[in-house]
Structure 1
Amino acid sequence: TVNEGVVGKEFSLSMACMHCADAPCQQVCPTDCFYIRTDGIVLHDKDKCIGCGYCLFACPFGAPQFPKNGAFGTKGKMDKCTMCAGGPEETNSPEEFHKYGQNRISEGKVPMCASMCSTKALLVGDANEVALIKTYRATHKGKGIATDSYGW
C-alpha cells in the first residue's frame, strides 16, 4: 500500500521484483548473494546476505525489503520476491520451504501472485507471449464501448 494511512491518498500497487536481465541489486551486492537463473529469475541466497541494504537503494522498484518482523527493531537480512522459485537449497526440501516458501515453479505452477490475481492482470511467462496477450486485451476487450463524453 502506497501512502498507507493517508486518507484519500492511499492505493495498492504491485511493487514486486521485475527480475531484471541486468539486475541492479546483483551489481551492488558486496557478498554476491544475488544470482540469475538460466530462466531469468533473479534470486538471492539469504545465507550470504549481510543486510547492508545496497540492493534496496539500487533497485528502481524497491523490491528487496527488510523483513517487517525482528527482535528489538533489528532488521536482519533482506528479503525479496522469489517468483515462487525457491532458493539455492535442494529443490522442495524443508530448508528451502522454510527460507523461501513454496517452490511453485518446480511444481510447474505459476507464482502465487499471478495465480491469485482476481483481475488476471499479473501474467508470467515468455515476454513475447505476455506482450501478445497484453496487446490482444488492449485491442479487443474495449471494442464496442462508446468513447463519447456524456452530458455535453
Structure 2
Amino acid sequence: MTARMKFICDTERCIDCNGCVTACKNEHETPWGVNRRRVVTINDGIPGERSVSVACMHCTDAPCLAVCPVNCIYHTEDGIVLHSKDQCIGCGYCYYACPFGAPQFPETGLFNHRGKMDKCTFCAGGPEPDTSEAEFKKYGRNRIAEGKLPACAEMCGTKALIGGDANVIADIYRQRVETRGYGPELWGWKIAYGKPKRGGEIKATGDAPRENQNLKDSQNDAGRIPT
C-alpha cells in the first residue's frame, strides 16, 4: 500500500523555538513575506499555554483542491498535496478554503498584485522533473526525491514535529500518549492539538507530572523516530 505522508505536532513537546520555520526558509529560499510554516501559540501568557507548528497538513480530502477553478492542485501517489504555479491564477479560493491558512500569496508587480500561490510542499517539489533547477526555483528543494524527510521535522530538536508515513507517525504518537498515562483509548488529533472545553478555552493536554513524562517520552521514542 502506498504511503500517506502526514505531519503531527505534539503540543506537549513544542517549545516555540521556531527552528522548523527557520529550517523551511533556509532549505527552500522562500521570498520575503512567504512563510510556509509558522508557530502558533494558544492561550499565550496564561496557564495552559501551548504552541503548535502549522503548515499545509496535506489533507486526504483537501478542500483547497476541491475549490481550485483551474485544477492546479493535486495529490501525489504518496498523498502529498502539491500545485502547479504555471496553472495558478492567484484567485485566492484555496486560501479561504484551507482551515490551516497554508496557501500564501506573495505580492508581485508595481501595484502589488497577488502573485502565484505558494505553500508547504512536504519538501516534495512540484510537477517539474525531480531535483531540477526549474523545480527548485519554483518550489524549493525536493528532499523526498533524495530519500529524506521534510527539513522542518528533521530540524525539530524536541521531536514535537514529526512527518512521514501516516501509520508510522500515528504509532509513535499513540505510544507517547499511552506512556503519559492517558490509556490506549485516548489518542488522536484532539489530543495532539488540545481539545476545547466550556467557554471556548483550550484545555491543555498532558496532566501527567512533567519530570516523569519527559523521561518516559525519551525512553519511549529512542530509536523509533525517523530523522
Q: Secondary structure at the match of 2:115?
A: coil
The equivalent of 1:16 in structure 2 is: 55
The equivalent of 2:158 in structure 1 is: 119
Quick one: higher RCO (CA 8 Å, sep 6+), 1 or 2?
2
**Structure with the bigger percentage of strand:** 2
Q: Deviations over 1:58-104 (max 9, x none)?
A: 1111111112x534422211111100000000111100011111100
Q: Deviations over 1:90-134 (max 9, x none)?
A: 111100011111100000000011011121111112222111111
Give aligned pairs, total. 142
The equivalent of 1:99 in structure 2 is: 138
2:108 aligns with one of 44, 48, 70: 70
Q: Secondary structure at the match of 1:99?
A: helix
Q: Secondary structure at the match of 2:162?
A: coil
Q: Secondary structure at the match of 2:74?
A: strand
Give the counterpart letter for 2:126 in structure 1: G
Shift of 1:135: 1.6
1:45 aligns with one of 58, 70, 84: 84
C-alpha distance in structure 1 between counterparts of 2:104 and 2:158, whole Å: 26
C-alpha distance in structure 2 between counterparts of 1:139 and 1:56, whole Å: 36
TM value normalised by structure 1:
0.82
TM value normalised by structure 2:
0.56
* Percent identity of equivalent pairs: 61
Q: Secondary structure at the match of 1:90?
A: coil
Change (3 A) 1:13 1:132: closer
Give the counterpart letter for 1:29 in structure 2: C
Change (3 A) 1:146 1:56: closer
RMSD: 2.6
C-alpha distance in structure 2 between counterparts of 1:79 and 1:27, whole Å: 17
Q: Give ranges in structure 1 of 5+ residues lacking alignment.
A: 148-152
2:120 aligns with one of 76, 81, 84: 81
